[in-house]
Amino acid sequence: MIGKLKGLVDSYGEDFVILDVNGVGYVVHCSARTLQRLPPPGEATDLAIETHVREDMIRLYGFRSDAEREWFRLLQTVQGVGTRVALGLLSVLEPAALATAIATGDKGAVARAPGVGPRLAARLVAELKDKAPAFSPIDPALVALTGAVEDRTAPQPVADAISALVNLGYPQVQASAAIAAALKGAAEGAEAKTLIRLGLKELAR
């Protein structure tokens, strides 16, 4: 099994790169995000490789980091997610952002990937929510706050502050992260208007 390739970029296809390793050209399928970050033809690079072997073919998938490869593997443990959908998710969200979206239940962000509808996004979040923090450092306070908002158990000022930021055009997960950060610097029992002001400061950083 091939776990890593290091060589010269030969050429690019729609969803793959041909990597020249000592005169042998390997066709390596990658996410759009990974392809965009690779150097131009003729320059050296290396990729973490996931090898899929079937009766009729051997296919290589390449990643810029081990974290991206681990997410590629993890995503396919969910029913309905194959290699194409997994690469689509990694094309839209980098590993850290994907971990945060799943851990905080941001189904809208997950559903942005091609081939991922609302039902599959919900399944991804439900099945991987507890595993996501292990793949990226995520603020436990943010996860707890998001869960409280979803369960409607968050204090009213907190829920109102998040709602206000969402109404201003910020994504739910970004608004929740800003208010989670604001709560750390706010006095206990702070009003919604105070949390909104502090949250906007966090978003402006």
Query: pLDDT in tens for each of the 205 residues of the chain?
Result: 788 999 999 999 999 999 999 999 999 999 999 999 999 999 999 999 999 988 888 999 999 988 899 999 999 999 999 999 999 999 998 888 888 888 777 888 889 898 899 999 999 988 988 777 655 555 555 555 555 455 455 678 778 888 888 888 877 767 777 777 777 777 777 788 888 888 887 777 6
**Amino acid of residue 13:** G
92 shares a domain with 38: no
Q: Are residues 131 and 78 in the same domain?
A: yes
| pLDDT given for residue 120 in this prediction | 94
DSSP bridge partners of 12: 17
Per the CB < 8 A criterion, the answer to whether 161 and 196 are in contact is yes
Cβ-Cβ contacts under 8 Å for 104 (sequence gap 6 or more): 138, 142, 143, 146, 173, 176, 177
Domain final residue, candidates 37, 63, 89:
63
13 plus 30 within the same structural domain: yes
The pLDDT, as a whole number, for residue 46 is: 95
130 plus 144 within the same structural domain: no
The count of structural domains within the chain is 3
Burial 80-103 (b: 16+ CB within 10 A, else e): ebeeebbbbbbbbbbbeebbbbbb
CATH number of 24's domain? 2.40.50.140
Last residue of a domain, one of 93, 115, 135: 135
Do 52 and 70 belong together in one domain?
A: no
Using the 3D structure, point to which of 135, 165, 196 is the last residue of a domain.
135
In the chain, the largest separation of any two C-alpha atoms, in whole Å, equals 66
Phi, psi values for residue 104, rounded to 5°: -100, 5
CATH code, domain carrying 99:
1.10.150.20
Q: Count CB neighbours of 30 within 10 A.
A: 25
Q: Assess contact for 172 and 108: CB atoms under 8 A.
A: yes
Shared-domain flag, residues 200 and 146:
yes
Whether residues 70 and 130 share a domain: the answer is: yes
Q: Residue 49: which domain range? A: 4-63
